[in-house]
């Protein structure tokens, strides 16, 4: 029988939608300059600050996260100024390409796919820059294409010591892993609605610190129009947006932010860590190899895994989808058809991980991969119970 339900998304975005967030889309139209909508805009902007852990402005754009990254670059850098890009996968590579398109000079430090960037190579590049030609450094918190996790706190400290602006793509990092914009003295940070915010795609968020704002105001000659920091910040200061926003997405964000703050950002971080550890334990118990082997550099949002020898990722993903109605993601670029990625981000809980591991086990069994039946679930259960003990001790 054909399953007509939408597949359950175990991909690293878009992530599953809570009913309360989904239902907002059927509300009547609302005037975007109306007093009632202004109340929502104000609340959403205040709550976004709590998620980024900042007192500074968080600009909300009607654009996907790539738009907000472009805003970060074009508002703070002039053509021919130098941006250092720490590359570790598809998304960091995209920022290098974007900067080049904007006429910015790019210096790049790369690591093999599946590895995180290192503080040593960053320190070395910054120390070598005696003329201070590097004006900003961009890196990805959680590299969604590989599941590698970068050390935001250490990197931003090194960048601060050098004097360049730090730009952090925390599109799949925020809410899954600790992130403290003010305490870590970060200059710019970007996230997107369809990730840890557990809502529909279409909005992006850009936290702007004072040094970034000063550079935008005093040094950047062509900061653009739609994404212009000042235009957007000025409007937001009046509880509105510079241009017609995606009203219903903002109302959905209002609901999702209330859910996030009710759960608590630290609790969200713990939940994602638990899910990550359950997934990793379960996959290892099935005899599978993880692309990011080192747990210390593994993203709490997504896990990339290699298929067993002789088994194709297309078959694994296809059967998971057709038989169990669970979507997991393919690899991207050079990793396409070489890995598959299990997202455990946003509105995802233990039940979903057990369901995915059990279904994956059935798929692999059918595809002839030798495994001990139930081992993955047992490993995941043990991992979850360790978290419960840890939580009880810390409570
Ligand atoms: C780490 C990271 N950065 C940036 C993006 C781009 O976001 P968007 O597709 O919303 O433009 C993504 C999307 O998956 C991502 O995972």
**Would you state the pLDDT for residue 223?**
95
Is residue 64 within 6 Å of ligand 1 at its C-beta? yes
**Would you state the pLDDT for residue 2?**
54
**Would you state the pLDDT for residue 372?**
92
CA 65 – ligand 1 centroid, Å:
6
Is residue 145 within 6 Å of ligand 1 at its C-beta? no
CA 12 – ligand 1 centroid, Å:
9
**Would you state the pLDDT for residue 389?**
83
Is residue 196 within 6 Å of ligand 1 at its C-beta? no
Is residue 245 within 6 Å of ligand 1 at its C-beta? no
**Would you state the pLDDT for residue 365?**
95
Q: Which of 76, 67, 332, 39 is nearest to 186 (CA)?
A: 76
Is residue 90 within 6 Å of ligand 1 at its C-beta? no
Is this structure's pTM higher than 0.85?
A: yes
Q: How many residues does the chain have?
A: 395
**Would you state the pLDDT for residue 5?**
86
| Block mean pLDDT (10 aa), the chain, length 395 | 80 98 97 98 98 98 98 98 98 97 98 97 98 98 98 98 98 98 98 98 98 98 97 98 98 98 98 98 97 97 97 97 97 97 98 98 95 95 89 78
CA 378 – ligand 1 centroid, Å:
33
Residue whose Cα lies nearest atom 16 of ligand 1: it is 144
**Would you state the pLDDT for residue 3?**
62
Is residue 144 within 6 Å of ligand 1 at its C-beta? yes
CA 284 – ligand 1 centroid, Å:
27
Total Cβ atoms within 10 A of residue 331 = 21
**Would you state the pLDDT for residue 394?**
77
CA 149 – ligand 1 centroid, Å:
15
């Amino acid at each position: 029988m054909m399953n007509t339900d939408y597949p359950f998304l175990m991909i690293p975005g878009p992530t599953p939608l809570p009913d309360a967030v989904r239902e907002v889309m059927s509300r009547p139209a609302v005037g975007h300059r109306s007093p009632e909508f202004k109340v929502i805009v104000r609340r959403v902007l205040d709550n976004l600050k709590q998620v980024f852990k900042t007192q500074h402005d968080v600009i909300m754009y009607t654009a996907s996260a790539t738009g907000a990254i472009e805003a970060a670059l074009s508002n703070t850098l002039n053509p021919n100024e130098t941006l250092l890009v720490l590359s570790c996968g598809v998304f960091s590579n995209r920022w290098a390409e974007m900067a080049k398109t904007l006429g910015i000079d790019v210096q790049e430090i790369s690591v093999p796919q599946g590895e995180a960037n290192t503080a040593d190579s960053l320190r070395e590049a910054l120390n070598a820059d005696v003329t201070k030609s590097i004006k900003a450094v961009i890196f990805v918190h959680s590299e969604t294409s590989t599941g590698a996790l970068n050390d935001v706190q250490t990197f931003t400290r090194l960048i601060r010591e050098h004097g360049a602006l730090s730009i952090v793509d925390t599109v799949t990092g925020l809410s899954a892993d600790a992130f403290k914009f003010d305490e870590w003295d970060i200059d710019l940070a970007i996230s997107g609605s369809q990730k840890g915010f557990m809502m529909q795609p279409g909005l992006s968020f850009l936290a702007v610190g004072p040094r970034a704002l000063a550079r935008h105001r005093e040094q950047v000659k062509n900061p653009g129009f739609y994404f212009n920091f000042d235009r957007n910040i000025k409007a937001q200061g009046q509880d509105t947006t510079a241009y017609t926003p995606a009203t219903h997405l903002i109302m959905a964000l209002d609901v999702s932010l209330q859910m996030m703050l009710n759960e608590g950002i630290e609790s969200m971080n713990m939940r994602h860590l638990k899910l990550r550890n359950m997934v990793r334990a379960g996959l290892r118990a099935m005899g599978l190899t993880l692309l990011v082997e080192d747990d210390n550099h593994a993203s709490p949002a997504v896990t990339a895994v290699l298929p067993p020898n002789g088994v194709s990722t297309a078959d694994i993903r296809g059967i998971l989808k057709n038989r169990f109605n669970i979507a997991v993601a393919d690899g991207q670029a050079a990793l396409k058809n070489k890995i598959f990625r299990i997202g455990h981000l946003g509105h995802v809980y233990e039940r979903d991980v057990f369901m995915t591991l059990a279904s994956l086990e059935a798929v692999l069994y059918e595809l002839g991969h030798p495994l001990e039946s139930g081992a993955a679930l047992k490993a995941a259960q043990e991992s979850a119970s360790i978290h419960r003990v840890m939580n009880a001790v810390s409570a």
